[in-house]
Amino acid sequence: MVNHMRHTHSQSAERRSHHALVGVRITLCESCGLPKMNHRACTNCGKYNKREVLNVYKELDKKTKKTKVPSTAKEPDKIEKVAKVKEKKVEEVKSEKRVEKKGK
């Protein structure tokens, strides 16, 4: 390296002053009002510049075909059972904490 190629710390810092990353810019969709990324079609209504570009319903149909129905949805009794078990566990943890506090 030749001496005239040397950069001072401030020269490097000045160059790097333009390297900061900018966060994702989000605006509200003009037609449906939901947040969407700038320069992208709205994922909710499929519109860009108030013009429909994406067929959202087509994608929806694909997704509904792909997603499996969760086992709990088939048996509504199971959901109640799971909820009851969760409540019991929460109560157990709470009572254990109380015991610990009393012990101290």
Q: How many CB atoms lie within 10 A of CB 65?
A: 7
Q: How far apart (Å, rounded) are the C-alpha atoms in residues 84 and 87?
A: 5
Q: How far is CA 92 from the centre of its chain?
A: 32
Q: Work out which of 13, 26, 28, 32 binds Zn ion, going by CB under 5 A.
A: 32
The verdict on 42 binding Zn ion (CB under 5 A) reads yes
Residues 6+ positions from 71 with CB-CB distance below 8 Å: 78
Q: Which is nearer to Zn ion, 33 or 83 (CB)?
A: 33
Q: Which is nearer to Zn ion, 48 or 72 (CB)?
A: 48
CB 24 within 8 A of CB 36: no
The verdict on 54 binding Zn ion (CB under 5 A) reads no
Q: Work out which of 10, 16, 29, 85 binds Zn ion, going by CB under 5 A.
A: 29
Shortest Cβ distance from residue 49 to Zn ion (Å)?
Answer: 11
The residues of the shown chain that bind Zn ion, judged by CB under 5 A, are 29, 32, 42, 44-45
